[in-house]
A and B are shown apart, each in its own frame.
Chain A
Amino acid sequence: MFRFLLKRFGYIIVSLFFIVTITFFMMQAAPGGPFASERKLPPKIEEQMNEAYGLNDPFYVQYFDYLVGIAKWDFGPSFAYKGQSVNDIISRSFPYSLIMGLEAIFLALSIGILLGVIAALYHNKFGDYFAMIFAVLGISVPSFILATILQYVFALKLQVLPIAKFDSFAHTILPSIALATTPLAFIARLMRSSMLDVLNSDYIKTAKAKGLSGRVTIYRHGIRNAILPVVSYLGPLVVAILTGSFIIEKIFSIPGLGNEFVESVTNRDYTVIMGTTVFFSILLLVSILIVDIIYGMIDPRIKITGKQEGDV
Chain B
Amino acid sequence: MKKKVLEVNNLSVSFHTYGGEVQAVRDVNFDVHEGETLAIVGESGSGKSVTVQSIMRLIAMPPGELKSGEVKLDGEELTAKSDKQMEAIRGKEMGMIFQDPMTSLNPTMRIGKQITEGLIKHQNMSKDEAKKRGIDLLKLVGIPNPERRIKQFPHEFSGGMRQRAMIAIALSCNPRVLIADEPTTALDVTIQAQILDLLKNLQEETNTAVVLITHDLGVVANSASRVAVMYGGKIVETGTVDEIFYKAKHPYTWGLLGSMPKLHEENETLQSIPGTPPDLKDPPKGCPFTARCPFAMKVCEGNMPDYTEITDTHKAACWLQDERAPKVDPPENVLAGGTE
Direct contact between the two chains A and B in their complex (CB within 8 A): yes
Q: A299 to chain B: which residues have CB within 8 Å?
A: 107-108
The smallest C-beta distance from B173 to any residue of chain A, in angstroms, reads: 8
Q: Is the CB of B98 within 8 A of A300?
A: no
The smallest C-beta distance from B165 to any residue of chain A, in angstroms, reads: 10
Q: B24 to chain A: which residues have CB within 8 Å?
A: none
A210, CB-defined interface residue at 8 Å:
yes
Chain B minimum-CB-distance residue to A201: B103
Most central of A210, A224, A298, A299 by chain B CB within 10 Å:
A210
Most central of B88, B91, B108, B170 by chain A CB within 10 Å:
B108
Q: Is the CB of B121 within 8 A of A212?
A: yes
Q: B131 to chain A: which residues have CB within 8 Å?
A: none
Q: Is the CB of B153 within 8 A of A208?
A: no
Q: Is the CB of A221 within 8 A of B109?
A: yes
Q: Mark B154-191, 1 if CB is under 8 A from A, else 0.
A: 01000000000010011000000000000000000000
Q: Is the CB of B98 within 8 A of A205?
A: yes
Q: A202-B103, A301-B155 are in contact. Are A209 and B170 (CB under 8 A)?
A: yes
Most central of B86, B104, B155, B166 by chain A CB within 10 Å:
B104
B78, CB-defined interface residue at 8 Å:
no
Residue count of chain A within 8 Å CB distance of chain B? 21
B129, CB-defined interface residue at 8 Å:
no
Q: A221 to chain B: which residues have CB within 8 Å?
A: 106, 109
Q: Is the CB of B153 within 8 A of A300?
A: yes
B58, CB-defined interface residue at 8 Å:
yes
Interface secondary structure of A, over-half rule: helix
B48, CB-defined interface residue at 8 Å:
no
Q: A208 to chain B: which residues have CB within 8 Å?
A: 58, 90
Q: A202-B100, A202-B103, A210-B121 are in contact. Are A224 and B108 (CB under 8 A)?
A: yes
Chain A minimum-CB-distance residue to B106: A203
Q: B86 to chain A: which residues have CB within 8 Å?
A: 211
Q: Is the CB of A203 within 8 A of B121?
A: no
Q: Mark B55-89, 1 if CB is under 8 A from A, else 0.
A: 01010000000000000000000000001101111
The smallest C-beta distance from A278 to any residue of chain B, in angstroms, reads: 37
Q: A202-B100, A205-B98, A300-B153 are in contact. Are A211 and B107 (CB under 8 A)?
A: no
A214→B327 CA distance, assembly (Å): 55
Chain A minimum-CB-distance residue to B155: A301
Q: Is the CB of A300 within 8 A of B107?
A: yes
Q: Is the CB of A212 within 8 A of B153?
A: no
Q: A70 to chain B: which residues have CB within 8 Å?
A: none
Q: Is the CB of A301 within 8 A of B91?
A: no
Q: How many A-B residue pairs have CB under 8 A?
A: 77
The smallest C-beta distance from B105 to any residue of chain A, in angstroms, reads: 6
Choice from A205, A206, A212, A298 contacting B108 with Cβ under 8 Å: A298
Q: B94 to chain A: which residues have CB within 8 Å?
A: 209
The smallest C-beta distance from B51 to any residue of chain A, in angstroms, reads: 15
Chain B minimum-CB-distance residue to A222: B106
Q: A209 to chain B: which residues have CB within 8 Å?
A: 56, 58, 90-91, 94-96, 98, 170
Choice from A203, A211, A220, A224 contacting B104 with Cβ under 8 Å: A203
A184→B309 CA distance, assembly (Å): 64
Q: A210 to chain B: which residues have CB within 8 Å?
A: 90-91, 117-118, 121, 169
Q: Is the CB of A225 within 8 A of B108?
A: yes
A308, CB-defined interface residue at 8 Å:
no
Q: Mark B238-253, 1 if CB is under 8 A from A, else 0.
A: 0000000000000000
A213, CB-defined interface residue at 8 Å:
yes
A213→B108 CA distance, assembly (Å): 19
Q: Is the CB of A212 within 8 A of B117?
A: yes
Q: A211-B90, A213-B87, A298-B108 are in contact. Are A206 and B117 (CB under 8 A)?
A: no
Choice from B53, B90, B107 contacting A203 with Cβ under 8 Å: B107
Q: A206-B169, A221-B109, A301-B155 are in contact. Are A211 and B88 (CB under 8 A)?
A: yes
Q: A207 to chain B: which residues have CB within 8 Å?
A: 106
Q: A211-B121, A212-B117 are in contact. Are A206 and B98 (CB under 8 A)?
A: yes
Q: Is the CB of B58 within 8 A of A211?
A: no
Q: Is the CB of A202 within 8 A of B90?
A: no
Q: Mark A194-232, 1 if CB is under 8 A from B, else 0.
A: 000000011101111111111000001100110000000
A94→B105 CA distance, assembly (Å): 46
Q: Is the CB of A225 within 8 A of B107?
A: yes
Chain B minimum-CB-distance residue to A228: B108
Known: A206-B98, A211-B92. 8 other contacts (CB 8 A): A203-B105, A205-B53, A206-B166, A209-B90, A211-B118, A212-B117, A224-B109, A225-B107
Chain A residues at the B interface, C-beta cutoff of 8 Å: 201-203, 205-214, 220-221, 224-225, 298-301
A-B pairs, top 5 by smallest CB distance, nearest first, are: A211-B91, A211-B90, A210-B91, A202-B104, A209-B96
19 contacts between A and B (CB under 8 A): A202-B100, A203-B105, A203-B106, A205-B53, A206-B98, A206-B104, A206-B166, A210-B169, A211-B86, A211-B88, A212-B91, A212-B117, A212-B118, A213-B84, A220-B117, A221-B106, A225-B107, A300-B108, A301-B155
Chain B residues at the A interface, C-beta cutoff of 8 Å: 53, 56, 58, 83-84, 86-92, 94-96, 98, 100, 103-109, 114, 117-118, 121-122, 153, 155, 166, 169-170
